[in-house]
Structure 1
Amino acid sequence: MMGNLAAWKKGVIDGIPIGLGYLSVSFSFGIIAATAGLHIIEAVMMSATNFTSAGQFAGVTLIASSALLMEMALTQFIINSRYFLMSAALSQKMDPKTSMVHRIIMAFGITDEVFGVSVAVKGKLNPYYTYGVMSVALPGWTLGTFLGAYSGDLLPPSIVSALSIALYGMLLAVILPPAKGNNILSALIIISMVGSWLFSQVPYLQNISSGVKIILLTFIIAGIAAALFPVKGEARNG
């Protein structure tokens, strides 16, 4: 495992595309937050302390509709519950001697994209690598929120909508490179996409929240894959 400084620098480099993507996506969030009546400072503080796209978009929607605090708390818990699984997966890549302080800081900065690049690191995960990614991703998310809340009304709706699509492109950039040359992983990605599509089309499944949907698909698909294609101990750490 590389030294702390080298790991942090590598994380910063790998985090630049994520930071740029967050800058554009959070721009849209800043506009929505301002439209919902939040002050610029309130919108920026929400991004700096929450750091979750789906949770923040849902939160602003609930704020605009004057939802109850309990309703908001429950919604956030369900939407962000997928991070339990991500944190558990990352804990398996870390040195067991890693202090609780490092684990707590990493847990705060885990997003879909930060998790994607961190879990793809070969060998044991140095917390400073994730810190490097967070060093670029979090400022990008916060700055985009500020710019959107401050000047979003100056842009036409078509541009704002285009900026929001950047999140999906960023997710593809995270999952596609590891899938090259790996038939099993490629098949699992396709199955996951089909499963997600089915959840959006089947009548009863449509009512399930995105957070619960992700957890169900993760447990089912990952569980079956782990049973059919177990990873040897050396390969898991490699």
Structure 2
Amino acid sequence: METNRLQWKNGFRDGIPIALGYFAVSFTFGILAKKAGLTAFQAVVISLANVTSAGQFAALGLMGASATYLEMATTQLVLNLRYCLMSCVLSQKLNSKAPFWHRFLLAHGITDEIFGVAVCKSDKLNPFYNYGLMSSAIPGWTLGTFFGVISGEVLPERIISALSIALYGMFIAVIIPPAKGNKILTGIILLSMLMSLFFAKTEIFHSVSPGFKIIILTVLIAGVAAFLFPVRKADEGCPDEERSLAPALREGGL
């Protein structure tokens, strides 16, 4: 019991930097949720249940476009499919005798950042370490959403518009660093922009709903990139250019 408590404390401490980053991003989500007509309660429930920036921001756009439940569900499945792989990886780090409910709770609380911290732990992973990470990181995400919605009700419209730009700043900050010096990734990012513009301006695609446009582009571009530029298992002979491709695709929402 004492070991579990210590593991939880260590996880909680390591999750504080994640919580601070989450607060800033989810604050923007809260502002946009307010603009979309959601109440503070609705926005907080979405953040608490999803804990995924790409999925939640995409959901707001789909809601604004009156997308169907099928489009929303399929979009979330495609955007968040990576968490299934992360769950499998962390499951292998648990003790083989760990009960199913530990695996279930860990899978629900996995995010890119929580996975990145947990997977780097040496030896076997104690589930309570992940619970500690979740105990600080998830409230940071949820509270940021709440204060974003509240701020959208009291701050002047000019400030709200300025803060809304933070979303685009976040996406730029995500794709630019890994794209530096990586011609493959730079080309894929440019291709994504051109394909999105093509889908938006071509008349034949006007009948395709925004939700399915996201699904088609995500599967198509990510699939072609994975086929043409496969990432081998991390080893000494793996070029940095190829090694950085997969996480960059993941983070870039592709």
Give the equivalent residue in structure 2 for 1:114.
114
Contact 2:29 2:148 (8 Å CA) reproduced = yes
Does 1:17 find its partner at 2:26?
no
Q: 1:158 aligns with which of 147, 150, 162?
A: 162
Gaps of 5+ in 2: 197-216, 239-254
Q: Deviations over 1:109-155 (max 9, x none)?
A: 10000100010111111111111010011101111101111113613
Q: CA deviation at 1:5?
A: 1.2
Superposed displacement of residue 163, structure 1: 7.2
Give TM-score scaled by structure 1 length: 0.76
- The change in CA–CA distance for 1:149 and 1:71 in structure 2 (over 3 A counts) is same
| Distance apart, 1:3 and its partner CA | 2.0
Task: Quote the offset at 1:39 in angstroms.
Answer: 1.3
Q: Measure, in 2, the Cα distance between the counterparts of 1:18 and 1:203.
A: 28
In structure 2, what is the Cα distance between the partners aligned to 1:130 and 1:212?
A: 33
> Quick one: which of 187, 209, 220 aligns to 1:198?
187
| 1:213 alignment partner in structure 2 | 222
> What code does the residue aligned with 2:52 have?
T
Residue 4 of structure 1 and its aligned partner are, at CA, apart by: 1.1
Give distance in 2, aligned partners of 1:210 and 1:54.
15
Partner secondary structure for residue 37 of structure 1: coil
Shift of 1:211: 11
Alignment check: 8 A CA contact 1:82 1:214 kept: no
* Distance change >3 Å, CA 197–CA 71, structure 1 → 2: same
Distance verdict in 2 for CA 1:217–1:18, change over 3 Å: farther
Give the Cα–Cα distance (whole angstroms) in 1 for the partners of residues 165 and 46 of structure 2: 21
After superposition, give the CA deviation of every residue in 1:31-67 in whole Å (9 maximum; x if it has no partner): 1111111111100110111111110110111011100
The aligned runs of 1:43-54 (5 Å cut-off) are: 43-54=43-54
Whether the 8 Å CA contact 2:32–2:164 is kept in 1: the answer is no
* Counterpart for residue 133 of structure 1: 133
Query: Which residues in structure 2 correspond to 1:75-86 (within 5 Å)?
Result: 75-86=75-86
Contact 1:5 1:128 in 2 (8 A): yes
Is there any run of 5+ residues in structure 1 with no aligned partner, and where?
177-188, 230-238
Asked if 1 retains the 8 angstrom alpha-carbon contact of 2:7 and 2:129, the reply is: yes
Counterparts of residues 41-80 of structure 1 (less than 5 Å): 41-80=41-80
Aligned length: 212
Q: 1:203 to 1:18 in 2, by over 3 A?
A: closer
| Structure 2 letter corresponding to 1:63 | M
Q: Distance in 2 between matches of 1:23 and 1:210?
A: 30
AA of the residue aligned to 1:64: G
**C-alpha deviation, 1:157, in angstroms:** 3.3
1:201 and 1:70 map into 2 onto residues whose CA distance is: 29
Change (3 A) 1:121 1:192: farther
1:94 aligns with 2:103: no
Cα distance between partner residues in 2 of 1:215 and 1:114: 28
Deviates more, 1:192-201 or 1:129-138: 192-201
Deviation at 1:14, TM superposition (A): 0.6
Say which one has the larger Rg: 2
Q: Does the aligned pair in 2 maintain the 1:50–1:56 contact within 8 Å?
A: yes
Q: Is the 8 A contact 2:179 2:185 kept in 1?
A: no
Normalised by the length of structure 2, the TM-score is 0.71
Counterpart position of 1:185: none
CA contact (8 A) 1:14 1:133 kept: yes
C-alpha distance in 2 between matches for 1:102 and 1:167: 33
Q: Deviations over 1:67-110 (max 9, x none)?
A: 01111111110000011111111122111111110011111110
Contact in 2 for aligned 1:81/1:211 (Cα 8 Å)? no
- Tell me the distance in 2 between the aligned counterparts of 1:200 and 1:78: 18
